[in-house]
Chain A
Amino acid sequence: MTKKNRLPGIEMIRQDTKAKGKTGYTWYGILLSFSCFLCGLIGCVGAFLDAFPVSSNHKTLYIGVLVIAVFYEVIWLLHKFWRWLLLLLLPLTTILQYFFEDIKKGFILISNSIQIVISSQGNNSSIEIMADDEKKIIISFLLITFLWAGVLWFSTMVRCVRTLTVFSLGSILTGILAVGQVPVFWAVCLMLFCCLGNFAGLSVDASPARQKGVLLTIIAGFALLAMGDLFAEPYLETCFKDKEQVKTRIQKTSVIQELMNSLPKWENPYASGGIGHGELGQVERITFSGNTALRVTTDEFPKETVYLRGYIGADYTGKSWDTVEDTEDEQIAVSIFSNKRQELKMLYNSNIEPFRMDVIRENASPKYQYRPYLSMPLEDADNKQYSYWYFPRSILENTNIAYMNTWENYWTFVNENYLSYPEEQLPRLLAQCREHPLESVDEIKNYIVSGLDQMAVYNLEVGKFPEDEEFTEYFLYEAKQGYCSHFATAAVLMFRMYGIPARYVEGYIAPVSDFHKKDGEYTANITDKRAHAWAEIYTQDGGWQPVEATPGYSIGADLPGSRESKETETQTNSEKPQETSEAETESEKNINKAPEKKAAGLNTVIKIGLCISGTFLLIVCIHLRRKWILRRRKKKNVREIFHDMYEVLQMGGLTEEVDCQEADFPAFAARHFTWMKEQEFAEIMNLVMRANFGRGVMKTEEIKFMRDNYRYICNKVYRNLPGMKKIIFRYCKVYY
């Protein structure tokens, strides 16, 4: 193998290069090449047959494989083997045509055998083959082997393409490993010897020294394999004693997910956590895809944030919220709201019409209906779309009708199921609640909401909590930061401690800013960023109602992060009802800006951290590049040093028109750069001329002289450069 970089006017002819052809072959080389090829071929066939027992007649198959190997070897030994190969393929094609049906059937049988092994998931499964089918399988198998052997033959003997050899052998091994089988040891050894031979540069016309090298490599490989099996394995096994744990970890780890997690997140910090089906603190961080989860359509523009309940948790286990069957709640709602609608119509002389709300599920979990509060489901629902009659809370409050009192049975059910909490696990929270005895629901609600706001900070990147810590206690008293699930859980438990039935809800919220007018309706595309968790309390005169304990959220207020879009909406839709702007004004009043600032601050810190890290990385890269270039400069010869020197002088103000080979160049340069004498420039030029046209080898002192002058010139030029050019000089061009 020769790589040339020619010089004009000089031609180098290698005399001892063998002429292309087969004159350089030795029997020794041919035997070695054939052995390697045969090893690879039999290794692959053996590994395949062991993993996929397509036929029981292995003896015939191996004889066939041997014949194929010899066939290729003979073809190779004949001159112009491509011609012979094509010539022999003609009768082969005729035979194939004759046995076409058998081959076809054989392929199907082989395919079925492989499928059986795959479906058995690595368990040894015996396949019964009929005697008639055996012949068909053998023919098909040998045909596949013939074609595949051609690839291996080409890669090992014809062209010595290492990549192709690895690919042809590795594909078999990968296939076997992929179906849960382990390739048989002896077959892998044979393949290994084939690879070793190929990587050691084996070819038929290789020099004797190289052929000996190949043979020695294979022998050494054999010896080392034995040593590895006998001596190294016991030592290495101690390193693999925990391999089961690692294996489980690998199996449970998604590389893509890990990569995704390692990427920096630039998500909206005001978005709440995703629906976790009641699981608490089980995720390292919250991620959002930005896909639409639900599409909500209403007849009229909503005046407050719409809460869509999904998962409802009743029992707190310390790690999750478990649900209980609560069918009565649904029946009550249907019963009440079907009457209520009529009552409202009568009360307000039919001026107030409840809203119709359609909730279309896009990418949200299909496990739940996403139902707004104070609503009654309509019958025309399908699996994806639910329609509700929806009553705004403000309207119901105006009616002042205590309609829930009549449902005493449900009140009992609620008290039985939604008041429990693990006292022994929550000593600090219980003590805190007992220290602040309160009576009215409003007082309790205010205390809990404001208390949580003061106790913890909203943070989506809180991560997993320690396994041995109680979730709520750790959140409130140790971590002091969390997201909606944390706040909602704490709120529910505190309500229960005060004797108010409460439950944990996960679902979606649709702030008013998300609604856009379209075809006379108001539609909101709710992305997964709007997934949320909140607390619900039950009162006899109000039924289940949400309590927003997460800082930055409040019932009836728009979300802080959505304000911008809402303003845009207001500007573009001038015909929007008056209520919208009122709602906005009210919303702005209700927003608690403290957590927003905290979250924004946290985000800024992360961004600054990333910027600093990025800058540091950039500086390191620039420094390494500079080091690398300077190291290369140190190796330059006189001509190359002068080339750089000339560029430096040009950067220092030397006009490009000046020819450095003119006789008066030293005088000119000395006039221009007064810090250097003409004689010094002349000496440099003489040295360069000698390097260019004179003796090839320069003395070490001469190179040192040139390098010292270069450094001196760089130093002087650098000092006189303006600021920006100094940076370019040192860090872009790296002259000095």
Chain B
Amino acid sequence: MKSKFVYFVLVLVTVYIAIMYQDSKAIAFLGFELLLFICMFFLAWYLKRGITVHLESKLPIAGKQKAVPVKIYIKNRHRLPAAQILIRLVYENDYSYHSGNETFWCSVDGQEEKILHYDMLAEYCGRIHFSISKIKVYDYLKLWSFPIKCKEEIQISILPDIHEIIASVSEHTRNFPIDGEEYDPRQSGDDPSEIFQTREFRAGDTLQRVHWKMSAKTDELITKEYSKPIGCSVLLLLDLHFNKKQQNYGNSFLQMDAFWEIAASVSYGLMTAGCRHYTAWFEEETGCVGRQYVQEEAQVYEMIHRALHLTPYLQKYELLSGYQAEHREAHFSTILILNTDLQLIKNGEVIAEFPKDKASEMLNGLLLEV
């Protein structure tokens, strides 16, 4: 608008000069100005039709303070260069109250593609959404502009830092009878209700395990290997019921960041101590209780990745009851609950309360007995 106004003033001045001075060239200049104005309109319109913008990030998951590349591809299909393109990139953290943006001018040569490369460094964990809210293609003098629509959006999950906590698995937990419906697909066990595999009879195998029917069919002794039930004696419940006032801007950043750090560290600590466990949460969107079995490191990260999609909810939800109703396994030697007040509760007793700004310090070297 500013450019148009300046141009309008220039035209007025030319008109004034054309009237007041005995010089026909002023009229020629006026003609030039009017032609240029029209010409620039069509140029902007033409350029707009040839520009496409694409947003990309090849790293959907990253750690905190790790550079995550975000690329904006601007392609110009036409021969003429697009010298003035305005782009606004908007980014937003799930737990933030506001969004940030970067507005910049760029230019793309004719029939070329330009890549704008950004590195994103995140201080807090969570999901970060990137989108392009505004693209405007201008003519060379910035008199006219046309917007381009771009609905592309990318999401990058920033994982929480995992701190080393010392988990100690008690004898009680270790020998806790597991009553699971699932069986280990890789190991055989002693549960006769489920056959893991059949194989040739070897010396030392008991006759009770001989599969007589199959032996008769194959004319050789075949032995049954029973399945090993998979079960956990420890349950970690993540209670995302949010009941605190957001006192100032950025508070939720810290709070949720600390929450996920504690959850990840506890789960990782249990895993390293050889304590298989379930991590469960309430998914408000589906109304179900989701869970993740954690035995290996990869499963910890899978759990975190899934959990980062979760939404804190305002309504109070009895997570343990919900879990028991949905998954039936009611018997656990230890039930750990982590709530958004950053309290870690073990079997109904608060064993640790983390301040949101010093959670990482407290987590390092924390002794957790299950």
Residues on A facing B (Cβ under 8 Å): 1-16, 177, 182, 185, 188, 192, 196, 199-201, 206-210, 212-214, 216-217, 220-221, 224-225, 227-229, 231-233, 235-237, 240, 243, 246-247, 250, 639, 659, 661-663, 665, 682, 685-686, 689-690, 692-697
Q: Given the interface contacts A4-B101, A693-B256, A694-B94, does A10 sit within 8 Å of B122 by beta carbon?
A: yes
Cα distance, A11 to B122, chains bound together (Å): 6
Cα distance, A715 to B128, chains bound together (Å): 37
Give chain A residues whose Cβ lies under 8 Å from the Cβ of B81: 208-210, 212-213, 216
Give chain B residues whose Cβ lies under 8 Å from the Cβ of A224: 32, 35-36, 39
Known interface pairs A3-B104, A217-B140, A693-B311; 15 further A-B residue pairs with C-beta atoms within 8 A, sorted by A's residue number: A1-B105, A2-B104, A9-B124, A177-B17, A182-B25, A182-B26, A188-B29, A212-B109, A220-B36, A229-B31, A229-B32, A232-B27, A237-B24, A246-B19, A250-B19
- The residue of chain A having its C-beta at the shortest distance from the C-beta of B3 within the complex is A199
Q: Is the Cβ of A663 less than 8 Å from the Cβ of B315? A: yes
Task: Name 16 interchain pairs, CB-CB below 8 A, sorted by A.
Answer: A10-B120, A10-B128, A12-B70, A16-B115, A16-B116, A182-B23, A199-B142, A200-B83, A210-B107, A213-B140, A228-B31, A232-B35, A240-B27, A250-B20, A662-B243, A689-B312
Q: Is the Cβ of B83 less than 8 Å from the Cβ of A9? A: no
* Chief secondary structure at chain B's binding surface: mixed
- The residue of chain B having its C-beta at the shortest distance from the C-beta of A5 within the complex is B101
Give chain B residues whose Cβ lies under 8 Å from the Cβ of A665: 314
Give 1 or 0 for each of B323-343: 1 = CB within 8 Å of chain A CB.
Answer: 000000000000000000000
- The residue of chain A having its C-beta at the shortest distance from the C-beta of B105 within the complex is A1
Stretch at the interface among B180-188, B198-206, B246-254, B358-366: B246-254
Interface positions of B from 10 to 50, Cβ below 8 Å from A: 17-36, 39
Cα distance, A247 to B103, chains bound together (Å): 47
Interface positions of B from 199 to 250, Cβ below 8 Å from A: 241-246, 249-250
Q: How far is the CB of B8 from chain A (nearest CB, A)?
A: 14
Give chain A residues whose Cβ lies under 8 Å from the Cβ of B314: 661, 663, 665, 685-686, 689
Cα distance, A225 to B30, chains bound together (Å): 9
Interface positions of B from 79 to 108, Cβ below 8 Å from A: 80-84, 89, 91-108
Give chain B residues whose Cβ lies under 8 Å from the Cβ of A16: 115-117
Q: Is the Cβ of A663 less than 8 Å from the Cβ of B311? A: no
Q: Is the Cβ of B19 less than 8 Å from the Cβ of A247? A: yes
Q: Is the Cβ of A12 less than 8 Å from the Cβ of B118? A: yes
Cα distance, A7 to B26, chains bound together (Å): 52
User: What 8 A-B pairs are tightest by C-beta distance, nearest first?
Assistant: A232-B31, A7-B100, A213-B83, A694-B311, A228-B31, A228-B32, A696-B129, A209-B107
Q: Is the Cβ of B31 less than 8 Å from the Cβ of A233? A: yes
Q: Is the Cβ of A233 less than 8 Å from the Cβ of B24? A: yes
Most buried by B among A192, A201, A209: A209
Give chain B residues whose Cβ lies under 8 Å from the Cβ of A250: 19-20
- The residue of chain A having its C-beta at the shortest distance from the C-beta of B101 within the complex is A5
Q: Given the interface contacts A228-B30, A250-B20, does A10 sit within 8 Å of B121 by beta carbon?
A: yes
Q: How far is the CB of A649 from chain B (nearest CB, A)?
A: 16
Cα distance, A210 to B245, chains bound together (Å): 51
Give chain A residues whose Cβ lies under 8 Å from the Cβ of B285: 690, 694
Q: Is the Cβ of A2 less than 8 Å from the Cβ of B103? A: yes
Q: How far is the CB of A235 from chain B (nearest CB, A)?
A: 8
Q: Is the Cβ of B245 less than 8 Å from the Cβ of A661? A: yes
Cα distance, A695 to B313, chains bound together (Å): 12
Cα distance, A77 to B241, chains bound together (Å): 64
Cα distance, A734 to B335, chains bound together (Å): 52
B123 at the interface (CB under 8 A from A): yes
B316 at the interface (CB under 8 A from A): yes
Give chain A residues whose Cβ lies under 8 Å from the Cβ of B309: 695
Cα distance, A8 to B122, chains bound together (Å): 9
Cα distance, A11 to B91, chains bound together (Å): 10
* Chief secondary structure at chain A's binding surface: helix
Give chain A residues whose Cβ lies under 8 Å from the Cβ of B129: 696-697
Q: How far is the CB of B259 from chain A (nearest CB, A)?
A: 11
Cα distance, A686 to B312, chains bound together (Å): 9
- The residue of chain B having its C-beta at the shortest distance from the C-beta of A6 within the complex is B100
B284 at the interface (CB under 8 A from A): yes
Give 1 or 0 for each of B286-325: 1 = CB within 8 Å of chain A CB.
Answer: 0000000000000000000000011111111000000000
Cα distance, A690 to B153, chains bound together (Å): 18
Q: Is the Cβ of A4 less than 8 Å from the Cβ of B153? A: no
Q: Is the Cβ of B119 less than 8 Å from the Cβ of A693? A: no
Give chain A residues whose Cβ lies under 8 Å from the Cβ of B28: 225, 228-229, 232-233
Cα distance, A201 to B143, chains bound together (Å): 13
Cα distance, A243 to B92, chains bound together (Å): 60
Q: Is the Cβ of B313 less than 8 Å from the Cβ of A659? A: no
Cα distance, A374 to B69, chains bound together (Å): 102
B127 at the interface (CB under 8 A from A): yes
Cα distance, A653 to B138, chains bound together (Å): 49
Q: Is the Cβ of A11 less than 8 Å from the Cβ of B124? A: no
Q: Is the Cβ of A213 less than 8 Å from the Cβ of B32? A: no
Cα distance, A727 to B83, chains bound together (Å): 49
Q: Is the Cβ of B18 less than 8 Å from the Cβ of A240? A: yes
Q: Is the Cβ of B22 less than 8 Å from the Cβ of A689? A: no
Give chain A residues whose Cβ lies under 8 Å from the Cβ of B245: 659, 661
Give chain A residues whose Cβ lies under 8 Å from the Cβ of B124: 9
From B33, B39, B106, B253, give the contact of A9 (CB < 8 A): B253
Q: Given the interface contacts A200-B83, A233-B24, A233-B27, does A692 sit within 8 Å of B97 by beta carbon?
A: yes
Q: How far is the CB of A243 from chain B (nearest CB, A)?
A: 5
Q: Is the Cβ of B117 less than 8 Å from the Cβ of A15? A: yes
B351 at the interface (CB under 8 A from A): no
From B34, B92, B316, give the contact of A696 (CB < 8 A): B92
B367 at the interface (CB under 8 A from A): no
Give chain B residues whose Cβ lies under 8 Å from the Cβ of A14: 102, 104, 116-118
- The residue of chain B having its C-beta at the shortest distance from the C-beta of A181 within the complex is B21
Q: Is the Cβ of B94 less than 8 Å from the Cβ of A693? A: yes
Q: How far is the CB of A250 from chain B (nearest CB, A)?
A: 7
Most buried by A among B36, B92, B252, B316: B36
Give chain B residues whose Cβ lies under 8 Å from the Cβ of A221: 32, 36
- The residue of chain A having its C-beta at the shortest distance from the C-beta of B89 within the complex is A12
- The residue of chain A having its C-beta at the shortest distance from the C-beta of B33 within the complex is A228
Give chain A residues whose Cβ lies under 8 Å from the Cβ of B67: 13
Q: How far is the CB of A233 from chain B (nearest CB, A)?
A: 5
Give chain B residues whose Cβ lies under 8 Å from the Cβ of A182: 21-23, 25-26
B59 at the interface (CB under 8 A from A): no
Give chain B residues whose Cβ lies under 8 Å from the Cβ of A213: 81-84, 107, 140
Cα distance, A267 to B135, chains bound together (Å): 56
Cα distance, A247 to B312, chains bound together (Å): 74
Q: Is the Cβ of A693 less than 8 Å from the Cβ of B252? A: yes
Q: How far is the CB of A658 from chain B (nearest CB, A)?
A: 11
B141 at the interface (CB under 8 A from A): yes
Q: Is the Cβ of B243 less than 8 Å from the Cβ of A663? A: yes
From B17, B244, B284, give the contact of A690 (CB < 8 A): B284
Cα distance, A431 to B342, chains bound together (Å): 108
Cα distance, A220 to B109, chains bound together (Å): 18
Cα distance, A280 to B212, chains bound together (Å): 136
Q: Given the interface contacts A9-B250, A216-B80, A686-B284, does A3 sit within 8 Å of B312 by beta carbon?
A: no
Q: Given the interface contacts A2-B102, A188-B25, A224-B39, does A7 sit within 8 Å of B118 by beta carbon?
A: no
- The residue of chain B having its C-beta at the shortest distance from the C-beta of A231 within the complex is B31
Q: Is the Cβ of A693 less than 8 Å from the Cβ of B95? A: yes
Cα distance, A236 to B314, chains bound together (Å): 70
Q: How far is the CB of B310 from chain A (nearest CB, A)?
A: 8
Q: Is the Cβ of B243 less than 8 Å from the Cβ of A236? A: no
Q: Is the Cβ of A243 less than 8 Å from the Cβ of B18? A: yes
Q: Is the Cβ of A228 less than 8 Å from the Cβ of B83? A: no
Cα distance, A201 to B312, chains bound together (Å): 49
Give chain B residues whose Cβ lies under 8 Å from the Cβ of A12: 70, 89, 91, 100, 102, 118-120
Cα distance, A596 to B93, chains bound together (Å): 75
Q: How far is the CB of B225 from chain A (nearest CB, A)?
A: 45
Cα distance, A9 to B92, chains bound together (Å): 10
Q: Is the Cβ of A209 less than 8 Å from the Cβ of B242? A: no
Q: How far is the CB of B40 from chain A (nearest CB, A)?
A: 9
Q: How far is the CB of B32 from chain A (nearest CB, A)?
A: 4
